[in-house]
Structure 1
């Protein structure tokens, strides 16, 4: 099924949003997590915010995917599985494992919902309708390398999140210096994992929508990683001096 003009416009919009997001986040720290502050309207519990933000990426993807003519083909089903492994956890497991009673602005959650609906829609439509994957794609080096990167990035993200959660005991709300694992080299290996993960998705799908998501992920997370790195260095006088923000020995 050829991609329509409207579909291409939505993919182009996502690329444009990546540019705007990168510029905006280099100027303003997104007001959630450690940067939550007043002046951004009503707030909601962080657990609820993450559920609202991430569940459309899981549910909308399934809905759009199910409407595609290739929904029962082997390669689209594998790609569906990869996507859902990430987002089922992010939407329905990760929020329940958050510690502390943090809050986030409702506006932040709303913006994230809007993006996730757009992103899930264009990627799901590609996988089950606009793309056309023969069974041999599962043996193609682009898919194999992409899937390996995806799974590696997912593992790095999950392990790093677990390290961050373990820093707080029951009832604790403060911040500590994370250590061990990939934190030996960078301040935000969880963000590095997501960037690697969705870069792998772009390669495995060999698609412009996949590339748009990978670009947006980097545009969103690189500025936040740099902000976290600066925050750690300002807050902790003993912060490891050789640790980089995101990429070992480089950035």
Structure 2
């Protein structure tokens, strides 16, 4: 990793992962929906909040990526494509498929913007400037294993989102989701995202990617546990064999 400020941004993201994990073990983030509650200041429509807070992860990532001297190399371009597949969906597709009416605290939106700015800088600069990805990297097992994990996680994430979305469209209030990853865990959408960015960390074989994977776990694992508790408290007939996050384990 290069000397200078860049490495401290990477270390800052790792430190932020630790702080976030500890904080979310005690505080359930009020993103809206089942965990929405008063006391977090002004709010905005959740759809608007999602677009605003996730857009920097795609738009600014491209800007930072284009600053790199390796921006036109094949492997960095493939990494750029992987990143955009996730974040274009997350910022410009997913919010418009959400149930309307829920709201998000402005504070949560601003915190997410700050993280996405840091994370976009750290990862974009690595893949297009500081990392070394010759064409031969396409023949490395780490690259393909990581890409397969990324694709599997993205598929699980998107399909789980769709299952939840169809339940909410029924108009019958909250119900127990069934099928797909929900047969095994309460939050397969979160598990899918963790698998995605673990795949990214392996495919890029970088501390920058590892920092993002760690932060994803730190942010989503406590939320998965909170969802699991909510389901079990809300539905007396909730499947007892279903785990919070890891099938058959946790």
Q: TM-score range by the shorter chain?
A: over 0.9
Residues 157, 190 of structure 1: 8 Å contact kept: yes
1:8 is the counterpart of 2:15: no
Contact 1:50 1:95 in 2 (8 A): yes
The residue aligned with 2:223 is 224
Secondary structure of 2:28 counterpart = coil
Q: TM-score, normalised by structure 2?
A: 0.98
Q: Is the 8 A contact 2:47 2:100 kept in 1?
A: no
| SS of residue in 2 equivalent to 1:44 | strand
**Offset at 1:132?**
1.3
Tell me which residue corresponds to 2:142. 142
The 4+ residue runs of structure 1 with deviation greater than 2 A are: none
The 2-side partners of 1:192 and 1:13 are apart by 24
Q: What corresponds to 1:109 in structure 2?
A: 109
Q: Post-superposition shift, 1:173?
A: 7.3
Q: Distance in 1 between matches of 2:137 and 2:204?
A: 9
Partner of 1:195: 194
How many pairs are equivalent?
Answer: 249
Q: Which residue is equivalent to 2:160?
A: 160
SS in structure 1 of the partner of residue 169 of structure 2: coil
Shift of 1:69: 0.4
Partner of residue 75, structure 1: 75
8 Å Cα contact 1:11/1:208 also seen in 2? yes
Gaps of 5+ in 1: none
Unpaired segments of 5 or more residues in structure 2? none
The answer to whether the Cα contact below 8 Å between 1:57 and 1:116 also exists between their aligned partners in 2 is yes
Does the 8 A contact of 2:57 with 2:117 survive in 1? yes
CA distance in 1, matches of 2:172, 2:73: 47
